[in-house]
Structure 1
Amino acid sequence: MSDRNDDLKIARILQEAHVIAVVGASTNWKRPSFFVLKYLLEQGYDVIPVNPKEAGNSILGQTVVASLTDIHRPVDMVDVFRRSEECPEI
Protein backbone atom coordinates (compact mmCIF):
# COMPACT_ATOMS: atom_id res chain seq x y z
CA MET A 1 0.00 0.00 0.00
CA SER A 2 1.33 3.44 -0.86
CA ASP A 3 1.83 6.25 1.63
CA ARG A 4 -1.01 8.14 -0.06
CA ASN A 5 -3.40 5.24 0.51
CA ASP A 6 -2.26 5.01 4.13
CA ASP A 7 -2.93 8.74 4.58
CA LEU A 8 -6.40 8.37 3.07
CA LYS A 9 -7.17 5.41 5.31
CA ILE A 10 -6.06 7.32 8.41
CA ALA A 11 -8.12 10.35 7.36
CA ARG A 12 -11.21 8.15 6.90
CA ILE A 13 -10.74 6.55 10.32
CA LEU A 14 -10.44 9.96 11.96
CA GLN A 15 -13.52 11.25 10.14
CA GLU A 16 -15.58 8.28 11.28
CA ALA A 17 -14.44 8.41 14.91
CA HIS A 18 -16.48 10.49 17.33
CA VAL A 19 -15.69 9.15 20.80
CA ILE A 20 -12.02 8.69 21.69
CA ALA A 21 -10.67 7.32 24.98
CA VAL A 22 -7.19 8.50 25.99
CA VAL A 23 -5.60 5.89 28.26
CA GLY A 24 -2.85 7.40 30.39
CA ALA A 25 -4.32 10.90 30.16
CA SER A 26 -2.34 13.31 32.30
CA THR A 27 -3.12 16.55 34.11
CA ASN A 28 0.49 17.58 33.44
CA TRP A 29 0.47 19.97 30.47
CA LYS A 30 4.05 18.90 29.65
CA ARG A 31 2.99 15.32 28.86
CA PRO A 32 2.15 14.22 25.30
CA SER A 33 -1.15 12.71 26.46
CA PHE A 34 -2.27 16.16 27.67
CA PHE A 35 -1.43 17.76 24.32
CA VAL A 36 -3.26 15.05 22.38
CA LEU A 37 -6.32 15.24 24.62
CA LYS A 38 -6.41 19.03 24.22
CA TYR A 39 -5.98 18.80 20.44
CA LEU A 40 -8.73 16.19 20.06
CA LEU A 41 -11.13 18.33 22.11
CA GLU A 42 -10.29 21.36 19.96
CA GLN A 43 -11.08 19.30 16.85
CA GLY A 44 -14.54 18.50 18.22
CA TYR A 45 -14.04 14.91 19.34
CA ASP A 46 -15.81 13.57 22.43
CA VAL A 47 -12.77 12.62 24.52
CA ILE A 48 -12.79 10.41 27.61
CA PRO A 49 -9.63 10.60 29.74
CA VAL A 50 -8.66 7.29 31.39
CA ASN A 51 -6.31 7.27 34.38
CA PRO A 52 -6.91 5.30 37.60
CA LYS A 53 -4.93 7.81 39.69
CA GLU A 54 -7.09 10.72 38.47
CA ALA A 55 -10.49 8.95 38.36
CA GLY A 56 -13.32 11.28 39.35
CA ASN A 57 -11.26 14.40 38.69
CA SER A 58 -11.36 16.31 35.44
CA ILE A 59 -8.84 17.12 32.74
CA LEU A 60 -9.73 20.05 30.48
CA GLY A 61 -13.33 19.79 31.69
CA GLN A 62 -13.62 16.06 30.94
CA THR A 63 -14.34 13.64 33.78
CA VAL A 64 -11.59 11.05 34.18
CA VAL A 65 -12.51 7.38 34.50
CA ALA A 66 -10.32 4.70 36.06
CA SER A 67 -10.40 2.17 33.21
CA LEU A 68 -11.96 1.42 29.85
CA THR A 69 -14.51 -0.81 31.59
CA ASP A 70 -15.85 2.31 33.34
CA ILE A 71 -16.98 3.75 29.99
CA HIS A 72 -20.60 2.77 29.47
CA ARG A 73 -21.04 3.81 25.86
CA PRO A 74 -19.43 2.89 22.56
CA VAL A 75 -15.89 4.16 21.98
CA ASP A 76 -14.66 4.54 18.41
CA MET A 77 -10.93 4.80 19.12
CA VAL A 78 -8.53 4.30 22.01
CA ASP A 79 -5.25 6.24 22.20
CA VAL A 80 -2.84 4.58 24.63
CA PHE A 81 -0.11 6.55 26.38
CA ARG A 82 1.39 3.74 28.46
CA ARG A 83 4.46 1.56 28.15
CA SER A 84 3.63 -1.68 26.38
CA GLU A 85 4.73 -3.74 29.38
CA GLU A 86 2.12 -1.89 31.49
CA CYS A 87 -0.74 -2.81 29.13
CA PRO A 88 -2.66 -6.07 29.15
CA GLU A 89 -2.40 -8.25 26.07
CA ILE A 90 -5.10 -7.93 23.45
Structure 2
Amino acid sequence: MTQTDDDLRTILKRTRKIAVVGVSPNPVRPSHYVARYLSLKGFTVIPVNPGHAGETLFGQTVRASLADCPDDVDMVDIFRRSEHVPPIVDEALERFPDLKTV
Protein backbone atom coordinates (compact mmCIF):
# COMPACT_ATOMS: atom_id res chain seq x y z
CA MET A 1 0.00 0.00 0.00
CA THR A 2 1.39 3.39 -0.98
CA GLN A 3 1.13 6.19 1.57
CA THR A 4 0.49 9.73 0.37
CA ASP A 5 2.02 12.78 2.00
CA ASP A 6 -1.40 13.49 3.57
CA ASP A 7 -1.49 9.95 5.02
CA LEU A 8 1.94 10.45 6.56
CA ARG A 9 0.97 13.86 7.98
CA THR A 10 -2.11 12.30 9.59
CA ILE A 11 -0.01 9.52 11.13
CA LEU A 12 2.55 11.96 12.51
CA LYS A 13 -0.12 14.30 13.91
CA ARG A 14 -1.77 11.51 15.90
CA THR A 15 1.55 10.08 17.11
CA ARG A 16 3.26 11.27 20.31
CA LYS A 17 4.93 8.17 21.79
CA ILE A 18 7.01 5.79 19.66
CA ALA A 19 8.54 2.49 20.80
CA VAL A 20 11.68 1.89 18.71
CA VAL A 21 12.48 -1.82 18.70
CA GLY A 22 16.11 -2.66 17.96
CA VAL A 23 17.43 0.82 18.71
CA SER A 24 21.20 1.01 19.05
CA PRO A 25 23.22 3.25 21.35
CA ASN A 26 25.80 3.49 18.52
CA PRO A 27 25.26 6.93 16.91
CA VAL A 28 26.27 5.73 13.44
CA ARG A 29 23.51 3.12 13.30
CA PRO A 30 20.31 4.12 11.45
CA SER A 31 18.15 3.03 14.39
CA HIS A 32 20.00 5.49 16.62
CA TYR A 33 19.89 8.52 14.38
CA VAL A 34 16.23 7.97 13.41
CA ALA A 35 15.22 7.64 17.07
CA ARG A 36 17.33 10.67 17.99
CA TYR A 37 15.76 12.72 15.19
CA LEU A 38 12.26 11.76 16.35
CA SER A 39 13.08 12.73 19.93
CA LEU A 40 14.51 16.07 18.76
CA LYS A 41 11.26 16.69 16.85
CA GLY A 42 9.24 16.36 20.05
CA PHE A 43 8.19 12.72 19.99
CA THR A 44 8.67 10.63 23.13
CA VAL A 45 10.90 7.76 22.05
CA ILE A 46 10.78 4.56 24.10
CA PRO A 47 13.96 2.63 23.22
CA VAL A 48 13.57 -1.17 23.16
CA ASN A 49 16.65 -3.41 23.06
CA PRO A 50 17.15 -6.33 25.47
CA GLY A 51 20.94 -6.06 25.17
CA HIS A 52 20.89 -2.52 26.55
CA ALA A 53 17.92 -2.67 28.95
CA GLY A 54 18.31 -0.29 31.88
CA GLU A 55 20.58 2.12 30.01
CA THR A 56 19.37 5.58 29.04
CA LEU A 57 18.86 6.84 25.48
CA PHE A 58 17.07 10.03 24.44
CA GLY A 59 16.15 10.73 28.06
CA GLN A 60 14.32 7.40 28.41
CA THR A 61 15.22 4.07 29.99
CA VAL A 62 15.88 1.35 27.43
CA ARG A 63 13.27 -1.42 27.79
CA ALA A 64 13.96 -5.11 27.28
CA SER A 65 10.75 -5.72 25.31
CA LEU A 66 7.45 -4.18 24.26
CA ALA A 67 5.92 -5.76 27.37
CA ASP A 68 7.99 -3.31 29.43
CA CYS A 69 6.72 -0.24 27.57
CA PRO A 70 4.02 2.16 28.77
CA ASP A 71 0.46 1.38 27.68
CA ASP A 72 0.05 4.56 25.64
CA VAL A 73 2.47 3.85 22.78
CA ASP A 74 1.09 5.26 19.51
CA MET A 75 3.59 3.73 17.08
CA VAL A 76 6.06 0.86 17.00
CA ASP A 77 9.10 1.45 14.78
CA ILE A 78 11.08 -1.74 14.10
CA PHE A 79 14.80 -1.89 13.28
CA ARG A 80 15.35 -5.63 12.99
CA ARG A 81 16.08 -8.03 10.13
CA SER A 82 12.99 -8.86 8.13
CA GLU A 83 12.78 -12.44 9.41
CA HIS A 84 12.42 -11.09 12.97
CA VAL A 85 9.65 -8.60 12.16
CA PRO A 86 6.47 -10.78 12.10
CA PRO A 87 6.71 -11.91 15.76
CA ILE A 88 7.44 -8.31 16.83
CA VAL A 89 4.36 -7.10 14.97
CA ASP A 90 2.29 -9.85 16.62
CA GLU A 91 3.64 -8.85 20.04
CA ALA A 92 2.93 -5.16 19.35
CA LEU A 93 -0.66 -5.82 18.30
CA GLU A 94 -1.26 -8.00 21.35
CA ARG A 95 0.42 -5.55 23.75
CA PHE A 96 -1.23 -2.42 22.30
CA PRO A 97 -4.71 -3.39 21.07
CA ASP A 98 -5.44 0.17 19.85
CA LEU A 99 -2.11 0.53 18.00
CA LYS A 100 -2.61 2.21 14.65
CA THR A 101 0.92 2.38 13.22
CA VAL A 102 3.77 -0.13 12.90
Fold shared, TM-score > 0.5 on shorter chain = yes
Give per-residue Cα distances to partners, 1:42-71, cap 9 Å, x unaligned.
Answer: 110011000000000111322100000111
Check conservation: 2:17, 2:44, Cα contact below 8 A: yes
Name whichever structure is richer in helix by fraction: 2
Show the counterpart of 1:16. Answer: 14
Q: Any gaps of 5 or more consecutive residues in structure 1?
A: none
Q: Any gaps of 5 or more consecutive residues in structure 2?
A: 91-102
Show the counterpart of 2:51. Answer: 53
RMSD: 1.8
- Runs of 4+ residues over 4 Å off in structure 1: none
Check conservation: 2:45, 2:58, Cα contact below 8 A: no
Q: CA deviation at 1:74?
A: 1.4
Among candidates 21, 40, 43, match of residue 42 of structure 1: 40
> Quick one: percent identity of the two aligned structures?
51
TM-score by length of 2: 0.79
Kindly provide the amino acid, as one letter, of the partner of residue 18 in structure 1.
Answer: R
Check conservation: 2:22, 2:78, Cα contact below 8 A: yes
